[in-house]
Amino acid sequence: MSKRLDISVVVPLYNEEESLPELVAWIDRVAKENSLSYEIIMVDDGSTDGSWGVVKSLKERYPAVKGISFMRNYGKSAALYSGFEMASGEVVFTMDADLQDSPDEIPEMRRMILEDGYDLVSGWKRKRYDPIGKRWPSKFFNLTARIMSGIKLHDFNCGLKAYRLKVVKSIEVYGEMHRYMPILSKHAGFKRIGEKVVEHHERKYGHSKFGLERMVKGYLDLISVTFMSHFGRSPMYIFGGLGTLMFLLGFVAIVWIIVEKFAYAYPITNQPLFYLSLTAIVIGVQLFLAGFIGELVNRRSSDRNHYLVDEQIE
Protein backbone atom coordinates (compact mmCIF):
# COMPACT_ATOMS: atom_id res chain seq x y z
CA MET A 1 0.00 0.00 0.00
CA SER A 2 1.47 3.35 -1.07
CA LYS A 3 2.18 6.04 1.52
CA ARG A 4 -0.38 8.84 1.73
CA LEU A 5 0.74 12.21 0.38
CA ASP A 6 1.63 14.84 2.94
CA ILE A 7 -0.45 17.61 1.37
CA SER A 8 -2.99 18.28 -1.36
CA VAL A 9 -3.39 21.84 -2.63
CA VAL A 10 -6.74 22.53 -4.31
CA VAL A 11 -6.67 25.61 -6.53
CA PRO A 12 -9.97 26.78 -8.08
CA LEU A 13 -9.34 29.07 -11.02
CA TYR A 14 -11.19 31.16 -13.55
CA ASN A 15 -9.26 33.07 -16.24
CA GLU A 16 -5.93 33.07 -14.36
CA GLU A 17 -3.55 31.86 -17.10
CA GLU A 18 -0.83 34.42 -16.28
CA SER A 19 -0.46 33.53 -12.60
CA LEU A 20 -0.56 29.72 -12.79
CA PRO A 21 3.10 28.97 -13.70
CA GLU A 22 4.36 31.22 -10.90
CA LEU A 23 1.93 29.71 -8.38
CA VAL A 24 2.85 26.10 -9.19
CA ALA A 25 6.59 26.89 -9.05
CA TRP A 26 6.07 28.56 -5.66
CA ILE A 27 4.15 25.60 -4.21
CA ASP A 28 6.73 23.17 -5.63
CA ARG A 29 9.58 25.14 -4.01
CA VAL A 30 7.90 25.27 -0.60
CA ALA A 31 7.07 21.55 -0.71
CA LYS A 32 10.63 20.55 -1.63
CA GLU A 33 12.21 22.86 0.96
CA ASN A 34 10.09 21.17 3.64
CA SER A 35 10.42 17.61 2.22
CA LEU A 36 6.67 17.30 1.67
CA SER A 37 5.11 14.91 -0.81
CA TYR A 38 2.32 16.78 -2.56
CA GLU A 39 -0.22 17.14 -5.30
CA ILE A 40 -1.68 20.29 -6.82
CA ILE A 41 -5.27 19.91 -8.00
CA MET A 42 -6.16 22.76 -10.34
CA VAL A 43 -9.88 23.07 -11.09
CA ASP A 44 -10.62 25.21 -14.14
CA ASP A 45 -14.11 26.59 -13.58
CA GLY A 46 -14.99 27.13 -17.24
CA SER A 47 -12.25 29.65 -18.08
CA THR A 48 -12.54 31.48 -21.39
CA ASP A 49 -8.83 32.23 -21.69
CA GLY A 50 -5.96 29.76 -22.05
CA SER A 51 -5.93 28.61 -18.42
CA TRP A 52 -6.62 24.94 -19.17
CA GLY A 53 -3.86 24.83 -21.77
CA VAL A 54 -1.49 26.24 -19.15
CA VAL A 55 -2.58 23.55 -16.66
CA LYS A 56 -1.83 20.81 -19.20
CA SER A 57 1.58 22.27 -19.97
CA LEU A 58 2.37 22.50 -16.26
CA LYS A 59 1.49 18.81 -15.90
CA GLU A 60 4.36 18.00 -18.26
CA ARG A 61 6.84 19.96 -16.11
CA TYR A 62 5.41 19.07 -12.69
CA PRO A 63 4.07 15.49 -12.37
CA ALA A 64 2.34 16.46 -9.09
CA VAL A 65 -0.08 18.70 -10.99
CA LYS A 66 -3.56 17.29 -11.53
CA GLY A 67 -6.45 19.07 -13.20
CA ILE A 68 -10.19 19.20 -13.70
CA SER A 69 -11.83 21.30 -16.39
CA PHE A 70 -15.54 22.17 -16.23
CA MET A 71 -17.67 22.55 -19.34
CA ARG A 72 -18.89 25.93 -18.06
CA ASN A 73 -18.57 28.23 -15.07
CA TYR A 74 -20.23 26.65 -12.03
CA GLY A 75 -18.68 28.78 -9.28
CA LYS A 76 -15.96 28.42 -6.67
CA SER A 77 -17.92 26.04 -4.45
CA ALA A 78 -18.34 23.54 -7.28
CA ALA A 79 -14.63 23.76 -8.06
CA LEU A 80 -13.70 23.11 -4.43
CA TYR A 81 -16.13 20.20 -4.14
CA SER A 82 -14.63 18.47 -7.20
CA GLY A 83 -11.10 19.17 -5.97
CA PHE A 84 -11.92 17.70 -2.57
CA GLU A 85 -13.20 14.52 -4.21
CA MET A 86 -9.84 14.05 -5.92
CA ALA A 87 -7.66 15.08 -2.95
CA SER A 88 -5.73 12.37 -1.11
CA GLY A 89 -3.20 14.27 1.02
CA GLU A 90 -3.06 13.99 4.80
CA VAL A 91 -3.72 17.74 4.99
CA VAL A 92 -5.70 19.50 2.28
CA PHE A 93 -5.10 23.16 1.47
CA THR A 94 -7.20 25.55 -0.57
CA MET A 95 -5.83 28.74 -2.07
CA ASP A 96 -6.79 31.17 -4.78
CA ALA A 97 -4.95 31.18 -8.11
CA ASP A 98 -4.30 34.94 -8.20
CA LEU A 99 -1.06 34.83 -6.11
CA GLN A 100 -2.63 36.84 -3.29
CA ASP A 101 -2.38 33.78 -1.01
CA SER A 102 1.15 32.76 0.01
CA PRO A 103 2.21 29.09 -0.23
CA ASP A 104 4.88 29.94 2.36
CA GLU A 105 2.13 29.57 4.98
CA ILE A 106 1.70 25.85 4.18
CA PRO A 107 4.27 24.32 6.59
CA GLU A 108 3.01 26.16 9.69
CA MET A 109 -0.66 25.59 8.91
CA ARG A 110 0.10 21.91 8.35
CA ARG A 111 1.85 21.78 11.73
CA MET A 112 -1.21 23.33 13.40
CA ILE A 113 -3.38 20.55 11.94
CA LEU A 114 -1.07 17.65 12.79
CA GLU A 115 0.50 18.80 16.07
CA ASP A 116 -1.96 21.26 17.61
CA GLY A 117 -4.92 19.03 16.78
CA TYR A 118 -7.04 21.40 14.70
CA ASP A 119 -9.49 20.01 12.17
CA LEU A 120 -9.44 23.23 10.16
CA VAL A 121 -7.12 26.24 10.15
CA SER A 122 -8.37 29.38 8.43
CA GLY A 123 -6.13 32.16 7.21
CA TRP A 124 -6.66 35.71 8.47
CA LYS A 125 -5.56 38.47 6.10
CA ARG A 126 -5.12 41.05 8.84
CA LYS A 127 -3.37 43.45 6.45
CA ARG A 128 -5.17 43.45 3.14
CA TYR A 129 -4.35 45.02 -0.20
CA ASP A 130 -7.84 44.88 -1.63
CA PRO A 131 -9.67 48.11 -2.54
CA ILE A 132 -11.78 49.73 0.20
CA GLY A 133 -14.97 48.80 -1.68
CA LYS A 134 -14.13 45.16 -1.00
CA ARG A 135 -12.60 45.48 2.48
CA TRP A 136 -15.49 47.16 4.32
CA PRO A 137 -18.25 44.88 3.00
CA SER A 138 -15.98 41.97 3.95
CA LYS A 139 -15.60 43.28 7.53
CA PHE A 140 -19.38 43.60 7.91
CA PHE A 141 -19.90 40.16 6.38
CA ASN A 142 -17.39 38.54 8.77
CA LEU A 143 -19.00 40.24 11.77
CA THR A 144 -22.40 38.89 10.76
CA ALA A 145 -21.01 35.38 10.18
CA ARG A 146 -19.30 35.39 13.61
CA ILE A 147 -22.51 36.40 15.37
CA MET A 148 -24.72 33.89 13.56
CA SER A 149 -22.32 30.93 13.71
CA GLY A 150 -20.62 31.46 17.06
CA ILE A 151 -17.24 30.72 15.42
CA LYS A 152 -14.65 33.32 16.38
CA LEU A 153 -12.89 33.82 13.05
CA HIS A 154 -11.87 37.18 11.63
CA ASP A 155 -11.85 36.18 7.96
CA PHE A 156 -14.35 33.51 6.89
CA ASN A 157 -13.77 34.30 3.21
CA CYS A 158 -10.00 33.85 3.17
CA GLY A 159 -9.17 31.45 0.34
CA LEU A 160 -6.18 30.02 2.20
CA LYS A 161 -7.34 27.25 4.53
CA ALA A 162 -5.98 23.93 5.75
CA TYR A 163 -8.14 20.88 6.51
CA ARG A 164 -7.67 17.42 7.89
CA LEU A 165 -8.48 15.05 4.99
CA LYS A 166 -11.55 13.54 6.66
CA VAL A 167 -13.05 17.03 6.96
CA VAL A 168 -13.18 17.72 3.21
CA LYS A 169 -14.49 14.20 2.60
CA SER A 170 -17.36 14.80 5.02
CA ILE A 171 -18.79 18.17 3.97
CA GLU A 172 -20.93 19.21 1.03
CA VAL A 173 -20.18 22.49 -0.74
CA TYR A 174 -22.56 24.21 -3.19
CA GLY A 175 -23.90 27.66 -4.08
CA GLU A 176 -21.61 30.22 -2.42
CA MET A 177 -21.01 27.92 0.55
CA HIS A 178 -17.23 28.04 0.15
CA ARG A 179 -17.42 31.16 2.33
CA TYR A 180 -18.83 29.06 5.16
CA MET A 181 -16.51 26.08 5.21
CA PRO A 182 -15.84 26.58 8.94
CA ILE A 183 -19.60 26.58 9.63
CA LEU A 184 -20.15 23.49 7.49
CA SER A 185 -17.22 21.78 9.23
CA LYS A 186 -18.58 22.63 12.67
CA HIS A 187 -22.01 21.31 11.67
CA ALA A 188 -20.38 18.05 10.51
CA GLY A 189 -18.81 17.62 13.95
CA PHE A 190 -15.33 19.05 13.33
CA LYS A 191 -15.31 21.75 16.00
CA ARG A 192 -11.57 22.28 16.48
CA ILE A 193 -11.24 25.33 14.26
CA GLY A 194 -8.17 27.57 14.42
CA GLU A 195 -6.93 30.71 12.76
CA LYS A 196 -3.55 31.94 11.56
CA VAL A 197 -2.54 35.42 10.45
CA VAL A 198 -1.32 35.04 6.86
CA GLU A 199 0.48 37.29 4.43
CA HIS A 200 -1.68 38.87 1.77
CA HIS A 201 -0.23 40.05 -1.53
CA GLU A 202 -1.47 42.60 -4.02
CA ARG A 203 -3.03 41.12 -7.14
CA LYS A 204 -0.30 40.80 -9.75
CA TYR A 205 -2.33 39.73 -12.77
CA GLY A 206 -5.92 40.07 -13.98
CA HIS A 207 -8.73 41.62 -11.95
CA SER A 208 -10.92 40.75 -8.98
CA LYS A 209 -14.12 38.74 -9.55
CA PHE A 210 -15.75 40.31 -6.47
CA GLY A 211 -19.02 42.15 -7.12
CA LEU A 212 -22.33 43.15 -5.56
CA GLU A 213 -24.00 39.99 -6.88
CA ARG A 214 -21.54 37.76 -5.01
CA MET A 215 -22.06 39.72 -1.81
CA VAL A 216 -25.85 39.34 -2.01
CA LYS A 217 -25.52 35.62 -2.74
CA GLY A 218 -23.13 35.31 0.18
CA TYR A 219 -25.65 36.71 2.66
CA LEU A 220 -28.46 34.57 1.30
CA ASP A 221 -26.25 31.51 1.67
CA LEU A 222 -25.38 32.58 5.23
CA ILE A 223 -29.09 32.47 6.08
CA SER A 224 -29.36 29.14 4.28
CA VAL A 225 -26.39 27.50 6.01
CA THR A 226 -27.55 28.76 9.40
CA PHE A 227 -31.00 27.28 8.80
CA MET A 228 -29.56 24.02 7.50
CA SER A 229 -27.22 23.76 10.48
CA HIS A 230 -30.14 23.84 12.89
CA PHE A 231 -33.00 22.28 10.92
CA GLY A 232 -31.46 20.67 7.81
CA ARG A 233 -31.85 17.14 9.16
CA SER A 234 -35.43 17.65 10.35
CA PRO A 235 -37.25 20.51 8.59
CA MET A 236 -40.45 19.29 10.26
CA TYR A 237 -39.17 20.68 13.56
CA ILE A 238 -39.47 24.29 12.42
CA PHE A 239 -42.17 24.13 9.74
CA GLY A 240 -44.26 21.55 11.55
CA GLY A 241 -43.84 23.36 14.86
CA LEU A 242 -44.83 26.76 13.46
CA GLY A 243 -47.65 25.19 11.48
CA THR A 244 -49.06 23.42 14.52
CA LEU A 245 -48.88 26.64 16.57
CA MET A 246 -50.65 28.67 13.87
CA PHE A 247 -53.33 25.99 13.44
CA LEU A 248 -54.02 25.76 17.18
CA LEU A 249 -54.27 29.54 17.58
CA GLY A 250 -56.70 29.76 14.67
CA PHE A 251 -58.72 26.77 15.90
CA VAL A 252 -59.04 28.10 19.46
CA ALA A 253 -60.13 31.50 18.12
CA ILE A 254 -62.77 29.90 15.89
CA VAL A 255 -64.13 27.86 18.84
CA TRP A 256 -64.31 31.04 20.93
CA ILE A 257 -66.22 32.86 18.17
CA ILE A 258 -68.72 29.97 17.86
CA VAL A 259 -69.26 29.94 21.64
CA GLU A 260 -69.97 33.71 21.53
CA LYS A 261 -72.37 33.16 18.65
CA PHE A 262 -74.51 30.74 20.64
CA ALA A 263 -74.17 32.56 23.96
CA TYR A 264 -74.68 36.15 22.82
CA ALA A 265 -75.99 35.82 19.26
CA TYR A 266 -73.02 37.74 17.84
CA PRO A 267 -72.84 37.56 14.02
CA ILE A 268 -69.75 35.54 13.11
CA THR A 269 -69.00 37.07 9.73
CA ASN A 270 -68.95 40.61 11.11
CA GLN A 271 -65.93 39.89 13.32
CA PRO A 272 -62.41 40.48 11.88
CA LEU A 273 -61.13 37.80 14.26
CA PHE A 274 -63.10 35.20 12.30
CA TYR A 275 -61.16 35.90 9.08
CA LEU A 276 -57.84 36.16 10.92
CA SER A 277 -58.53 32.76 12.51
CA LEU A 278 -59.30 31.14 9.16
CA THR A 279 -56.10 32.63 7.74
CA ALA A 280 -54.08 31.26 10.67
CA ILE A 281 -55.55 27.77 10.15
CA VAL A 282 -54.78 27.80 6.41
CA ILE A 283 -51.21 29.05 6.96
CA GLY A 284 -50.73 26.47 9.72
CA VAL A 285 -51.77 23.63 7.42
CA GLN A 286 -49.47 24.92 4.65
CA LEU A 287 -46.49 25.18 6.99
CA PHE A 288 -47.11 21.67 8.33
CA LEU A 289 -47.27 20.30 4.77
CA ALA A 290 -44.05 22.18 3.90
CA GLY A 291 -42.33 20.45 6.79
CA PHE A 292 -43.70 17.07 5.76
CA ILE A 293 -42.55 17.52 2.15
CA GLY A 294 -39.18 18.71 3.41
CA GLU A 295 -38.81 15.51 5.40
CA LEU A 296 -39.60 13.42 2.30
CA VAL A 297 -37.08 15.33 0.17
CA ASN A 298 -34.46 15.12 2.90
CA ARG A 299 -34.61 11.34 2.81
CA ARG A 300 -33.78 11.17 -0.86
CA SER A 301 -30.22 11.41 -2.11
CA SER A 302 -29.27 14.77 -3.62
CA ASP A 303 -27.84 15.03 -7.13
CA ARG A 304 -27.05 18.74 -6.99
CA ASN A 305 -23.25 18.24 -6.86
CA HIS A 306 -22.93 16.59 -10.27
CA TYR A 307 -20.98 18.84 -12.59
CA LEU A 308 -20.14 18.31 -16.23
CA VAL A 309 -16.40 17.71 -16.49
CA ASP A 310 -14.82 18.35 -19.89
CA GLU A 311 -11.35 16.93 -19.18
CA GLN A 312 -9.41 15.52 -16.26
CA ILE A 313 -5.73 14.78 -15.78
CA GLU A 314 -4.19 12.78 -12.94
pLDDT at 89: 95
Identify whether residues 218 and 286 lie together within a single domain: no
Out of 200, 231, 262, a domain closes at 231
pLDDT at 271: 76
Identify whether residues 127 and 60 lie together within a single domain: yes
Q: Say yes or no to pLDDT of 2 above 80.
A: no
User: What's the Cα-to-Cα distance from 128 to each of 27, 55, 235, 255, rounded to whole Å?
Assistant: 21, 28, 40, 63
2 lies in some domain? no
Domain tally for the chain?
Answer: 2
pLDDT at 5: 95
292 lies in some domain? yes
Q: Say yes or no to pLDDT of 276 above 50.
A: yes
314 lies in some domain? no
For the sheet with 91-94, list strands across it.
193-197, 120-124, 161-164, 91-94, 7-13, 38-44, 65-70, 309-313
Out of 199, 231, 263, a domain closes at 231
Identify whether residues 135 and 172 lie together within a single domain: yes
pLDDT at 34: 97
What mean pLDDT do residues 109-133 have? 86
118 lies in some domain? yes
Query: The pTM is what?
Result: 0.73
The domain of 291 spans 236-297
pLDDT at 287: 84
310 lies in some domain? no
302 lies in some domain? no
pLDDT at 301: 46
What mean pLDDT do residues 219-240 have? 67
Identify whether residues 255 and 292 lie together within a single domain: yes
CATH number, domain with residue 164: 3.90.550.10
Q: Say yes or no to pLDDT of 176 above 90.
A: no
Query: 33-47, 107-121, 236-250 — which is least confidently predicted?
Result: 236-250
